[in-house]
């Protein structure tokens, strides 16, 4: 159990629910449900992380695991908690740092959190599910709720290398992968930095991608929408080209310019140019357009990003937000701005 105060995470409790091995299965499942429901009522968590079922060598063990897991999902879902399901390798990686850890190692580490006060911050740091209480993109969810993710980091630069940096946010170190262009703008170690972020979740990994500007983040999202372009290739492109250069290359069909990035061959460059030609003409992503891009971190920028996440093109989102802001005034709240912009964009 992890508690959060702002960006600070702390260990609250951990343990195991043990049922009577001599009792019959229905009784043990009822006992498991009731005792878990008691813990939920006691701590009132906002979200729960549950390991996905996996096939064991012993089919009986696999069946019993599935039955117990079903009870856990039922107890959480009936309490109105958002439930995220994660592969076993991802759970192990979040707990002890490696997806290949043995069960005994995970148990030893988990038990140590409650016995030693000085490991509380580490416990909070490893329990990454707290940062995205609803299941992330690609994971199944059993309860509705707001989509959770880390959208921005503000902290001190702890260290950096050729392709990543560690940002210290109130004692919690976030490993962030970034383009060389973003890394070059971070400044000196110990200085304050602000990064827009995108969280990527795979079966056995969670990673944060950081960006110096919202524009670079939006380009990353567009690039990774192209088949064959993953995070590594997208960051290579953003390291080689500025947003304006990329915009001109795509608008002019200049695959040679896109192919300047490491790991991008002629065929992939052509695919990027072809697929993004109709998507990259917005004022948020490019320098041209009928309205200036909203300042990063403003309600207008956040509202435009929200509309893009709903499927509107950058140009449409920016135009709608600009009209909504002109109608409501500069003091409009984010919620009001998004609602008004949605009406404008839907016309």
Question: Do residues 123 and 113 touch, judged by C-beta distance below 8 A?
Answer: yes
Residue 79: what pLDDT? Answer: 79
Which CATH architecture best describes the domain 214-276?
Orthogonal Bundle (1.10)
- Identify the weakest region by mean pLDDT among 112-126, 135-149, 151-165, 236-250: 135-149
Confidence of residue 93 (pLDDT cuts 50, 70, 90): low
Residue 145: what pLDDT? Answer: 33
Distance CA 8, CA 168 (A): 11
Residue 80: what pLDDT? Answer: 79
Residues of the chain with CATH 3.30.420.10: 2-131
Range with top average pLDDT, 39-53, 71-85, 229-243:
229-243
Burial class (CB in 10 A: 0-12, 13-18, 19+), 43: exposed
Confidence of residue 82 (pLDDT cuts 50, 70, 90): confident
Q: Which CATH number fits domain 152-211: 3.10.580.10, 1.10.3720.10, 3.40.50.720, 2.40.50.140?
A: 2.40.50.140
Query: Where in 179-217 does DSSP place strands (E)?
Result: 192-202, 205-211
Interacting residues of 21 by C-beta distance below 8 A, sequence separation 6+: none
Confidence of residue 270 (pLDDT cuts 50, 70, 90): very high
pTM of the model: 0.45
Confidence of residue 194 (pLDDT cuts 50, 70, 90): very high
Topology (CATH level 3) of domain 2-131: Nucleotidyltransferase; domain 5 (3.30.420)
Q: Sign of dihedral through CA atoms 71, 75, 80, 84?
A: negative
> How is residue 156 written in tokens?
């001190």
Look at residue 290 and tell me whether its pLDDT is greater than 50. Answer: no
Confidence of residue 325 (pLDDT cuts 50, 70, 90): confident
> How is residue 259 written in tokens?
């192919």
Q: Count the Cβ atoms, other than its own, within 10 Å of residue 52.
A: 15
Residues of the chain with CATH 2.40.50.140: 152-211
State how far the alpha carbon of 115 is from the alpha carbons of 14, 65, 94, 123, 193, in Å: 10, 28, 20, 12, 35
Indicate the average pLDDT of the chain.
75
> How is residue 24 written in tokens?
């019959």
Look at residue 165 and tell me whether its pLDDT is greater than 90. Answer: yes
Confidence of residue 168 (pLDDT cuts 50, 70, 90): very high
Topology (CATH level 3) of domain 299-346: Helicase, Ruva Protein; domain 3 (1.10.8)
Residues of the chain with CATH 1.10.150.20: 214-276
């Amino acid at each position: 159990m992890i508690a959060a105060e702002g960006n600070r995470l702390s260990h609250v409790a951990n343990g195991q629910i043990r049922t009577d091995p001599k009792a019959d299965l229905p009784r043990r499942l009822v006992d498991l449900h009731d005792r878990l429901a008691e813990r939920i009522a006691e701590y009132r968590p906002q979200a729960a992380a549950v390991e996905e079922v996996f096939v064991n060598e012993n089919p009986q063990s696999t069946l019993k695991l599935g039955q117990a897991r079903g009870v856990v999902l039922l107890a959480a879902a009936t309490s109105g908690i958002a439930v995220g399901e994660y592969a076993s390798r991802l759970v192990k990686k979040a707990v002890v740092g490696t997806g290949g850890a043995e069960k005994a190692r995970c148990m030893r580490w988990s038990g140590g959190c409650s016995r030693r006060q000085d490991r509380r911050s580490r416990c909070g740091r490893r329990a990454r599910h707290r940062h995205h209480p609803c299941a992330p993109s690609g994971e199944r969810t059993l309860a509705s709720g707001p989509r959770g993710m880390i959208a921005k980091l503000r902290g001190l630069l702890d260290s950096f290398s050729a392709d990543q940096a560690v940002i210290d946010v109130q004692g919690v170190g976030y490993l962030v992968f970034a383009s060389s262009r973003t890394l070059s703008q971070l400044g000196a170690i110990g200085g304050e930095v602000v990064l827009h972020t995108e969280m990527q979740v795979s079966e056995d990994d969670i990673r944060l991608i950081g960006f110096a500007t919202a524009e670079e983040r939006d380009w990353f999202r567009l690039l990774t929408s192209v088949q064959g372009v993953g995070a590594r290739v997208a960051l290579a492109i953003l390291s080689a080209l500025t947003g304006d250069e990329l915009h001109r290359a795509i608008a002019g069909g200049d695959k040679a310019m896109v192919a300047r990035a490491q790991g991008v061959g002629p065929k992939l460059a052509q695919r990027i140019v072809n697929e993004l030609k109709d998507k990259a003409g917005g004022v948020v992503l490019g320098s041209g357009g009928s309205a200036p891009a909203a300042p990063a971190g403003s309600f207008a920028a956040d509202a435009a990003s929200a509309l893009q996440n709903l499927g509107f093109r950058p140009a449409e989102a920016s135009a709608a937000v600009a009209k909504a802001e002109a109608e409501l005034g500069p003091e409009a709240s984010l919620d009001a701005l998004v609602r008004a912009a949605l009406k404008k964009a839907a016309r």
